[in-house]
Structure 1
């Protein structure tokens, strides 16, 4: 893949009206557009990098076809179209959603009952995807959107494969593991257990206000980053120990020790939780980074780094 490139003018995509910039992140740009024949507003997510190789382009299209099998699910963002632009950038045409759970994290932590209900819905969506042989590969707060009907919906099934196809050069200047499992360091074959880890890390982050093991020290070497996986994941004030323990199991370093997505959904649903007293918990005073760049904010593009590898900068 080539380096990120910016175009002076948005691309033209058949069937869509003029693309209007919505947000720009380090690895993709979001446009709003209207499908002319049905008058429907949509989001168009276009990779900033190009795929020149025809085999990789076909691989992306195959993945998009698989993702399309999930797009009718209540808790998956509808995928209307996919393709490659004239300048070889992959794109998805999707349901337009205004907010993500990364945005919600900026406001503060979420109530444990809300997090439990979110987990049941997204774990259910992942379980159905896994039955169809479809993996997400990039579950994180920025990829769980809120539909116009107020329901959580998992986005980016089609573009998630591009995470594997990007430049693997690692820049050790930044960050700690966030939403990716430890096996990602070993370039392990993607598996359903990785999606479970990422979802549990996401739910924990929504309860904590920052990803698991997140700290203010941003300048760790590779060995120190790997050592973070040996650290315990602590309890959270105002959060049920049973919920926290279930999320810990989902973030086990051994993929075989994690529940399946279906098991996670069932065990979350079985938890008896009460809503917290308003004001009992607040967001921690951490130097947090948003991972919602592609959906909402517009930071300057960044290089591939451990931040991207662990979902903290895209």
Structure 2
């Protein structure tokens, strides 16, 4: 890494002009230029080092698994991955300038908009789960807006970066307001956790703050856990059928939540048109056989292509 008086800037092969976009507990995101083609990109650099060669190999294997998600039209493209000379893993990704976290602070989504975003992101999660990949941190800040105005699910890199660590610290990298109850018990991540997080996110995008929050102030970890026992208030102007679906996704019992496929399809058939708009209907087109396992180790890490892809047009 190169150090100046203000910040330590990593050296990433092929990238120049790195400047900090965001800093987090587990990684720093930089804006950079990919020299070979003059493209602006985002590069996420892990704050910690991978000390062993085994960890580095596992990171690169998991990065390849996350890279398979890039083909989905509502997932941020992952261009490259690697490890810096001093052991920091990095991911080079598509650059988006805005997020739905920014949007909800000033102009919360209408029910129609939230439904349409939900259909697309639930489809992305359904595709990921079929490939044996979990997201683990769905939230408004990880729903970016492409230059074409499309919602893009970002930060599948979290699944990559935490895979090389102990499960007991996974919660440290999550956002409590959108994490399900079982994650606070350090239960292993599951597809149901992604469904909970997406349901909480869609709720927040319409209300302007996460479920059960009484105001815009983050109540902190302990009060957030205590709030799980409170009912989820209605959002003014949101049709009851959409509220019922989100409450199903926010069920305390993970086994009672819909799958990502079920959530996607249930969102799509909601018919409360305010302006005659309809989302693009997901067309489930099998390219390979249905996966025999949803395990990241057996389906994704093996490199087998026995998966079903879900592609909206």
TM-score, with normalisation over the residues of structure 1? 0.77
Q: Report the structure, 1 or 2, having the larger helix content.
A: 2
The equivalent residue for 1:193 is 192
Tell whether the 8 Å contact from 2:171 to 2:186 is kept in structure 1 after alignment.
no
Deviation, structure 1 residue 231 = 1.2
1:61 aligns with 2:60: yes
Gaps in structure 1 of 5+ consecutive residues:
1-5, 277-314
Compared CA separation, residues 101 and 220, structure 1 to 2 (3 A): closer
Compared CA separation, residues 206 and 169, structure 1 to 2 (3 A): closer
In the TM superposition, 1:138-287 aligns within 5 A as: 138-163=137-162, 165=165, 168=169, 177-216=176-215, 222=222, 225-275=224-274
Deviation, structure 1 residue 159 = 2.6
| RMSD (Å), alpha carbons | 2.5
1:86 aligns with 2:85: yes
Deviation, structure 1 residue 90 = 2.1
Deviation, structure 1 residue 82 = 1.1
Compared CA separation, residues 105 and 54, structure 1 to 2 (3 A): farther
Per the alignment, in what secondary structure is the counterpart of residue 16 of structure 2?
A: coil
The equivalent residue for 2:122 is 123
TM-score, with normalisation over the residues of structure 2? 0.78
In structure 1, C-alpha distance between the alignment counterparts of 2:214 and 2:162, rounded to whole Å: 25
The equivalent residue for 2:108 is 109
Aligned residues: 266
Asked which structure has the greater RCO (Cα within 8 Å, sep 6+), the reply is: 1
In structure 2, C-alpha distance between the alignment counterparts of 1:170 and 1:95, rounded to whole Å: 26
In structure 2, C-alpha distance between the alignment counterparts of 1:194 and 1:12, rounded to whole Å: 35
In structure 1, C-alpha distance between the alignment counterparts of 2:59 and 2:118, rounded to whole Å: 28
In structure 2, C-alpha distance between the alignment counterparts of 1:102 and 1:156, rounded to whole Å: 14
In structure 2, C-alpha distance between the alignment counterparts of 1:128 and 1:202, rounded to whole Å: 19
Gaps in structure 2 of 5+ consecutive residues:
276-313
